[in-house]
Structure 1
Amino acid sequence: MASQQRGGGAAGHAVTLGPYTYIPAPAHCSASVGGTLTKDGPPVTLRATEPILRHFLDVMAELEEDLARRWIGSHSASGFTPTK
């Protein structure tokens, strides 16, 4: 999910953001066509804010991947040695 560009990563599917759902624009659409944000009603087309939202989601995905890698690494290299 590190790449949020059209056609890559999470850009191809809906993302839940709290009570909202972000649906990116399809990969084949022009740059002028934005994704949508919905919450219990009609979707709102994102124009000026979509690049900011995509960047935010990119950064959050990178942080999540880094944390998962560190979490798994910390468990496999534990300093704890069980007694026999």
Structure 2
Amino acid sequence: MLVEGNVFENVWQACWSASGYADSDPGRLVARDNSFTDSGPCETDGTVAAIPYGYTARPAGAVRSSVAAGAGAGRI
């Protein structure tokens, strides 16, 4: 899994991978350009395949304001 350009606030542990979760085995997780406020880190492990198409991710520092500006009834 690729976890990129996200904002985590007040989350105990943002991502699980190396240790698995509950009954699941460890997985593969790559995290980049995420923002953590009063949150635990992403537990990363392994690699993921290259994305087979081009894209431009919004920088994590711009995500919170962008989501807030478009969230709620009548804003989409």
Whichever of the two has the greater Rg, that structure is 1
Give the number of the structure with larger relative contact order, counting CA–CA contacts within 8 Å between residues 6 or more apart.
2
TM-score when normalising by structure 1: 0.24
Q: Which one has the bigger helix percentage?
A: 1
TM-score when normalising by structure 2: 0.26
